Every structure is written in structure tokens, then in C-alpha cells.
Amino acid sequence: FPPERIRNFSIIAHVDHGKSTLADRLLELTGTIKKGHGQPQYLDKLQVERERGITVKAQTATMFYRYGIKEDDAMENLSNYLLNLIDTPGHVDFSYEVSRSLAACQGVLLVVDAAQGVQAQTVANFYLAFESNLTIIPVINKIDQPTADPVRVKAQIKSLFDLDPADALLTSAKTGQGLEHVLPAVIDRIPSPPGKCDSPLRMLLLDSYYDEYKGVICHVAVVDGALRKGDKIASSATDHVYEVLDVGIMHPELTPTGVLFTGQVGYVISGMRSTKEARVGDTLYQAKSTVVPLPGFKPAKHMVFSGLYPADGSDFDALNHAIDRLTCNDAGVSVSKETSTALGMGFRYGLSVPQEYGAKVISTVPTVPYMFEYADGSKVQVQNPAALTSNPGKRVTACYEPSVIATIIFPSEYVGPVITLCSERRGEPLEYSFIDCQRVLMKYRLPLREIVVDFYNELKSITSGYASFDYEDAEYQQSDLVKLDILLNGQPVDAMATIVHNLKAQRVGRELVEKLKKFIDRQMFEITIQAAIGSKVIARETISPLRKNVLAKCYGGDVTRKRKLLEKQKEGKKRMKRVGSVDIPQEAFSELLKVS
Ligand code: GDP
Ligand code: MG
């Protein structure tokens, strides 16, 4: 297949608008998968794993398609186009993954639900594709629905994206209506890959994953030249050289072809030991040749961090193992070890890391990386609030926190509550417009800290589920931040320290202290719970002493009952974390997560 006969494209959509269903229909239409194969959407195979918390991946498939050949043509039985569908995750947190998938495409199908219309992730995905200069084919899907209103969606596409509504395809991935126009539009409108066949090999590493039997499998896009089995390839990022042991296409399973030509997308197995060697965005080339590396794409950001500790300290090895497996399978994950005086050894991990770990863990209040500037001009980034110890020699002169630009789309009758929510969360309004006569688009600058805890749920609940939300990272902004300590009997609990905005400190301190009071059992001595900023106590509760004896209630000789009670008490103890002499139940930590 010469590059002119190749098309590389993605499907992008707001969640649930039908991306996976449409992808499946296209794979069926081209005979890549069998119709009604009874399995969940093929490209969602990995999505299921994603939900189980194993991996976060974009998946790719190659299809062969006949187009524009006359019936009596000699090539009658041959496909004449090779189409690579590069799947992208639809979730709001994965815009980085979307942009890395788009790096191998020349065009996208922008799927919009005919009843729901344009939503926040439609807008976000549109801009990712637009900024990459890709051809955008609007697809208005679910036209079979009784509430479908393609005319309204066309108007939105025109007003928001300045796309010609006449170019929109109308489909139902459910009934099959209109699907016959999709691949012809891909071929007619999306340019073929621009690489040079006679130049030395340059290929982009799109993704990698670890297979127990085959080792590290890399997804690659061959930009220039060709790649053959037996070739020696080098990495621009690491200078390591590998021998190509196997190369082929995903059709949709790994199908060895022995070679990948210019413009093709496929897989390479080359004896890499760990996915850490496979840097996503890296350029691979023939060893000993000299090439200019391709522009990669921006590295994964993990802006939201949370501490992670085994509930039972002796489980640290198991947690360590689980985290090793995660990082082995996704080089983009960032995790570092840390030690808390209250919780023992644990980790600080990027929040996009899901939890695949059997035993119970304690997850600390999510934090974002704050920046503190000192009188001497030095700046430190603080990931873990406990690390910000007050240093009398160094005076903090300014604090900064990361912000995001949020896009929210919702029916106009909810304008009031949405504005209230955003201003409570310290948002700054940037844009307010109607995308049609019923729906409003608002843009806000919000501190990242304010959206990581429960913002989306809150937004959904005040708009009866109608709001959609997406955000992109923006720069650091100066902010009036303070460190809020929680003290038990005068001793700070580092895992409960948070950094909060000064205006919210009083309320948050009060709430944390009240919550804790509910969760900590009375003990044989009095317990004081305090919230403090530096040496200033801003909230205080006490738990009066009580002698707790579970056996007190059962006099008499029933030994088994006594033993059961004692065992139950022991079980309960296991879930406790002892700070000084105070036991804190694990539930307290999860409850504290909800305070912001
Ligand atoms: P994704 O989140 O964009 O991948 O969306 P899915 O492909 O998972 O589809 C979301 C839901 O919409 C599923 O229940 C699909 O069966 C349904 N769906 C997809 N396409 C259509 C369509 O054209 N018409 C109707 N009525 N339902 C559809
Ligand atoms: Mg899907």
C-alpha cells in the first residue's frame, strides 16, 4: 500500500455519544471483526480493563477497504485502501492520551449525539484536533433517537467550531443508517500520511504495553521509510539499540507482516525489558543512520497527588508490588515513596493512577503541587503538605497554586446555581455564551485544588445531571494559602495536614475537627482534636474519657460469645491507625477526603 492509499484517523467524542459503537460498526463493515461477535465493543476491551483499574490505553486497529473500484475491475476482490483507526480515550482526565493518539492521524471523526448536542468534551476534543491541524469530519450520531435534533446540532457545529454544517454526516451506529458514507468520507476528505518512502526510517512511538508472553509491545506510526523484521533500531530518547524481533499490524489482533511501510501504523516487538524503555513520543530510527527526531508531544502531567498507605503496615510489600506492576505497564505514571510518622511507609502517586491492589489502602487528602516563594527569592514546590514545615529562618513571601481553565456546558435555566458553585470554588469567570437558544457555555479559571474534590459531582447534582465539564491545565496563580494542621492531643497528624486558602481555613478546620470527633472512639483518657494554622488554633473539640470494655455487657459463662466479641474488637483494631496513643479508624481518612 503506497501512502496515497493509507488513511490514519481517530474518532473523538464526548463520553457516551457513540464512539465505541461507531468504531465497532466500522470494523464490522470492513470484515475486521465478525458481525454480532457477541463481545463487548472490541476497542473497549481495554476500556474494561481501564475500569478495573489496570491500564489506561488507546487502542488501534487496521482495516482494509474497497472503494472507488468498478465492479468489473480486475482488482475486484482486492481491497485498495488501508485504514488505521486509532482509538482515543474519551474521559475528561485523558486529554494527554487523546493528543498523543492524534499525533499519528491526519483527520478525525468528531462524533456528536444528535439529541444531546455538543458537550464539554466535544469542545475540548475539537480544539485538540484543530490545534493539530487535522481534517475534522463532523458525525451526528444517534439520529434514530426520538429526541434527535440534527438541525440544532448542525447550528451548534457552525457557531462553535465554524465547520460547514453541510459537511456533517448523519448516522445511527445502532440501526446502521448512514454508516456507508463514513469510510468514503474518510478517504475523500482526510489527506494521506505525508511521509517519504525513500527517506531513512523515522517512526513515532505511540504507546506501549507489557504482555506476559511477548514482552513489551510498542505501537508505532512509521512516518518515513520502512521497518523490517531483523532491523536494528535506535531510540532518540535513550540511544539504546534493539533488534526488531516481530513487526506487524493490529487486525485487530497482532498480525505479523514482517514489514511496515511509510504511513503505516502497527506494532513492534524488540526485546525491550520494561515499558519504561519505551518513551511515548520517542522517535525510533535505523541504528547508525542520522535523522532529526520527530516533534514528540507534551509529557504526561500528573498534577493531582494523593498519599497512599497500606491500612495494615505489614502490607507495604504487597502495595509496593502492586505499584511496581502499574508503573511497569505505564511509563507515564508517577509515583514516589514517602514516609508518614502516622501511617508508616507509603507512596505519593499521580491521581490518574487507578488502584489495583487487593488489601485496603488509606488514601490521603488529594493535593496539588503548590509553590512557595521565600524572602530570599528561592522557590519550592510542595507536593506533600506535611513537607511544609515552618522554618523560622525562611519567611514565605508568596504562595502560588496551579489553576485550570474549565469549560462547562449546560441548559440556561441553571446559570444561577453554576455561577454560585464556581464562585464558591474561587472561580474567575472568563467567558459566557449561548451555543444555541437553550444551552450555555461558560469558561472559568478555577484553582485545580477546587475541582479535584467533588466538583464534578456537585456540578452534576445542581444541574440535574445536564452539565458537562472539561478542563485544561493553566498556569500557576498567586494565592493566599495557609497550611492547616490537625493535632491530636497536641501532636500533629501529618497525613491530615492540608494546604487551604486562607478564607476557607476557618470553615475547613471546623469541619475536619467535627468529622474526626465522630470517628474516633472514646478512650481511657481525654482526647483533644485541634485544627491550627501555625501556632494559632482555629477549631477545637474534645472527646471525654470512657473505659471501654466490650465484655461488660455479658456476664455469665458464655465463653464462645466472649471470644467472638474479643475477636471482633481485634478486627476493629486492625483497621485503626495509632497516632501517639490515639487510634484513628480508616473511615476517618476517607471521610476527611470529602471536606474541601
Ligand atoms: P462512547 O462512550 O462514545 O464510546 O459511547 P458508546 O459507543 O459506548 O455508546 C454509548 C451508548 O449509546 C451505548 O449504550 C450505545 O449502545 C448507544 N448508542 C451508540 N450509538 C447509538 C445510536 O446511533 N443510536 C442509539 N439509539 N444508541 C446508540
Ligand atoms: Mg466507549
355-413: pLDDT as tens digits: 344 445 555 556 678 888 888 888 887 766 766 665 556 778 888 998 888 889 999 99
CB atoms under 10 Å from CB of 580, counted, come to 14
Region 238-242: mean pLDDT is: 91
Measure 22 CA to ligand 2 centroid, in angstroms. Answer: 9
User: 141 in ligand 1 pocket by Cβ < 6 Å?
Assistant: yes
Residue 86: pLDDT band with limits 50, 70, 90: confident
- 411 annotated to bind ligand: no
- 219 annotated to bind ligand: no
For the chain, what's the residue count? 596
Residue 567: pLDDT band with limits 50, 70, 90: low
User: 7 in ligand 1 pocket by Cβ < 6 Å?
Assistant: no
More confident residue, 165 or 345: 165
- 536 annotated to bind ligand: no
Find the ligand nearest to 11 CA.
Answer: 1
pLDDT given at position 370: 85
Residue 205, pLDDT above cutoff 80: yes
Across 3-17, 416-430, 524-538, 563-577, least confident range: 563-577
- 14 annotated to bind ligand: yes
Residue 415: pLDDT band with limits 50, 70, 90: very high
User: 12 in ligand 1 pocket by Cβ < 6 Å?
Assistant: no
Measure 16 CA to ligand 2 centroid, in angstroms. Answer: 6
Helical ranges in 136-269 per DSSP H: 150-161, 182-189
User: 89 in ligand 1 pocket by Cβ < 6 Å?
Assistant: no
**Of all atoms in ligand 1, which is nearest to the CA of residue 142?**
23
Cell of 368: 496539588
Find the ligand nearest to 16 CA.
Answer: 1
Measure 90 CA to ligand 1 centroid, in angstroms. Answer: 13
**Cα 153 to the center of its chain, rounded Å:** 28
Residue 338: pLDDT band with limits 50, 70, 90: low
User: 195 in ligand 1 pocket by Cβ < 6 Å?
Assistant: no
Residue 485, pLDDT above cutoff 70: yes
CB contact at 8 A, 252 and 297:
no
Mean residue pLDDT of the chain comes to 79
More confident residue, 208 or 225: 225
User: 178 in ligand 1 pocket by Cβ < 6 Å?
Assistant: no
pLDDT given at position 347: 58
User: 25 in ligand 1 pocket by Cβ < 6 Å?
Assistant: no
| Best probe residue, ligand 1, of 12, 16, 92, 172 (max atoms within 8 Å of C-beta) | 16
| Residue closest by Cα to atom 11 of ligand 1 | 16
- 13 annotated to bind ligand: yes
**CB neighbours of 282 closer than 8 A, spacing ≥ 6?**
204, 205, 235, 236, 237, 238, 293, 296
Region 427-437: mean pLDDT is: 92
More confident residue, 475 or 248: 248
Measure 356 CA to ligand 2 centroid, in angstroms. Answer: 21
Nearest alpha-carbon partner for 283 in 270, 268, 296: 296
Measure 62 CA to ligand 2 centroid, in angstroms. Answer: 18
pLDDT given at position 110: 96
**Of all atoms in ligand 1, which is nearest to the CA of residue 21?**
7
- 144 annotated to bind ligand: yes
- 18 annotated to bind ligand: yes
User: 144 in ligand 1 pocket by Cβ < 6 Å?
Assistant: yes
User: 90 in ligand 1 pocket by Cβ < 6 Å?
Assistant: yes
Across 36-45, 389-398, 552-561, least confident range: 36-45
Measure 152 CA to ligand 2 centroid, in angstroms. Answer: 24
| Best probe residue, ligand 1, of 12, 21, 44, 119 (max atoms within 8 Å of C-beta) | 21
Residue 302, pLDDT above cutoff 50: no
User: 16 in ligand 1 pocket by Cβ < 6 Å?
Assistant: yes
CB contact at 8 A, 290 and 236:
no
pLDDT given at position 52: 39
| Direct distance between the N- and C-terminal alpha carbons of the chain, in angstroms, rounded to an integer | 56
**Of all atoms in ligand 1, which is nearest to the CA of residue 13?**
3
**CB neighbours of 571 closer than 8 A, spacing ≥ 6?**
none
What torsion do the CA atoms of 366, 509, 503, 476 make, to the nearest 10 degrees? -20
Find the ligand nearest to 45 CA.
Answer: 2
Residue 167, pLDDT above cutoff 80: yes
CB contact at 8 A, 559 and 541:
no
ipTM of predicted assembly, 2 dp? 0.99
